[in-house]
Structure 1
Amino acid sequence: MSHLRSATLRGFRSVVAELGGDADALARSVGLPPDVLDTDDDLVPRGRAAALLEVTAEQLDCPNLGLRVAGRQSVSMLGPLAVAMTNSPTIGNALECLSRYLSVYGRFLTLEFGEDPENRPGVVGLYYGPATASGSTQAVDLGIGFIHRAITYLNGGPYGLRGIHLPYRSPVSRQDYDAFFGARVHTGRPHPAAVLRLPEQLPAQELSGVNDTLRQLAVAFLDEQTPETDKDVVSRTRTAIRESLGTGTIELAGIARLLYMHPRTLQRRLEDADVAFGRLLDDTRRDVALRLLLGTDLPLGHIAGMVGFQERPSFSRAARRWWGLPPGEMRRTRRLPANR
Structure 2
Amino acid sequence: MSLVRSAGLQKFRQCVEGLGGDADVYARRAGLPVEALDADELLVEDTALAAVMEIAAADLGCPDLGLRVGETQDFAMLGPLSVAMQHSPSVADALECTSRYMFVHARDFGVSVMDAPDGEHGVVGLRYSFGAGVRPLPQATDMTMLFFHRAVTFLLGGRYGLRSVDLPHQPVAPRSRYEDAFGARVRFGRGSALLRVPSSLLARPLDGVDDTVRRIALAFLSQQPREAGPVVTAKVRAVLDQSLGTGSTDLADVARLLAVHPRTLQRQLAAEGESYASVLDVVRRTRARTYLMTTDMPLAQVSDLLGFAGQAVLSRCAKRWWGRTPTELRREAR
Do Structure 1 and Structure 2 share a fold, with TM-score over 0.5?
yes
- How many Å apart are 1:170 and its aligned residue? 2.4
Question: Over the residues paired in the alignment, what is the CA RMSD in angstroms?
Answer: 1.7
Contact 1:66 1:139 in 2 (8 A): yes
Contact 1:133 1:167 in 2 (8 A): no
- How many Å apart are 1:134 and its aligned residue? 5.1
Contact 1:134 1:168 in 2 (8 A): no
2:102 matched residue in structure 1: 102
- Give the AA of the match of 1:187: F
SS in 2 for 1:118: helix
SS in 1 for 2:119: coil
> Aligned pair in 2 of structure 1 residues 225, 51: CA closer, same or farther (>3 Å)?
same
Contact 1:101 1:226 in 2 (8 A): no
- Give the AA of the match of 2:218: V
For 1:108 and 1:133, the matched residues in 2 are separated by 10
- Give the AA of the match of 2:226: P
- How many Å apart are 1:133 and its aligned residue? 9.9
For 1:118 and 1:205, the matched residues in 2 are separated by 23
2:214 matched residue in structure 1: 215
Deviations 1:120-161 (A, max 9, x none): 222111111128895311111111111100000011001110
> Aligned pair in 2 of structure 1 residues 153, 38: CA closer, same or farther (>3 Å)?
same
2:53 matched residue in structure 1: 53
1:205 matched residue in structure 2: 204
- How many Å apart are 1:226 and its aligned residue? 4.0
- Give the AA of the match of 1:205: R
Aligned-pair identity (%): 48
1:163 matched residue in structure 2: 164
- How many Å apart are 1:46 and its aligned residue? 1.1
- How many Å apart are 1:172 and its aligned residue? 2.2
- How many Å apart are 1:31 and its aligned residue? 1.8
Equivalent residue pairs, number: 227
SS in 2 for 1:158: coil
2:80 matched residue in structure 1: 80
The TM-score normalised by the length of structure 2 is: 0.65
Structure 2 residue runs of 5 or longer lacking an equivalent are 229-334
SS in 1 for 2:162: coil
For 2:46 and 2:197, the matched residues in 1 are separated by 28
Correspondences of 1:1-340 after superposition (within 5 Å): 1-130=1-130, 135-189=136-190, 191=191, 193-228=192-227
- Give the AA of the match of 1:87: H
Contact 1:84 1:218 in 2 (8 A): yes
Structure 1 residue runs of 5 or longer lacking an equivalent are 230-340
1:306 matched residue in structure 2: none
For 2:17 and 2:126, the matched residues in 1 are separated by 33
SS in 1 for 2:25: helix
Deviations 1:209-241 (A, max 9, x none): 111111111111001114159xxxxxxxxxxxx
For 2:61 and 2:118, the matched residues in 1 are separated by 33
For 1:36 and 1:228, the matched residues in 2 are separated by 20
- Give the AA of the match of 1:179: D
SS in 1 for 2:136: coil
1:279 matched residue in structure 2: none
Deviations 1:261-283 (A, max 9, x none): xxxxxxxxxxxxxxxxxxxxxxx
Contact 2:75 2:151 in 1 (8 A): yes
For 2:152 and 2:160, the matched residues in 1 are separated by 7
1:328 matched residue in structure 2: none
SS in 2 for 1:201: helix
The TM-score normalised by the length of structure 1 is: 0.64
- Give the AA of the match of 2:167: L
SS in 1 for 2:176: helix
SS in 2 for 1:219: helix
For 2:83 and 2:41, the matched residues in 1 are separated by 17
For 1:146 and 1:96, the matched residues in 2 are separated by 18
- Give the AA of the match of 2:55: V
Contact 2:53 2:139 in 1 (8 A): yes
For 2:206 and 2:135, the matched residues in 1 are separated by 38
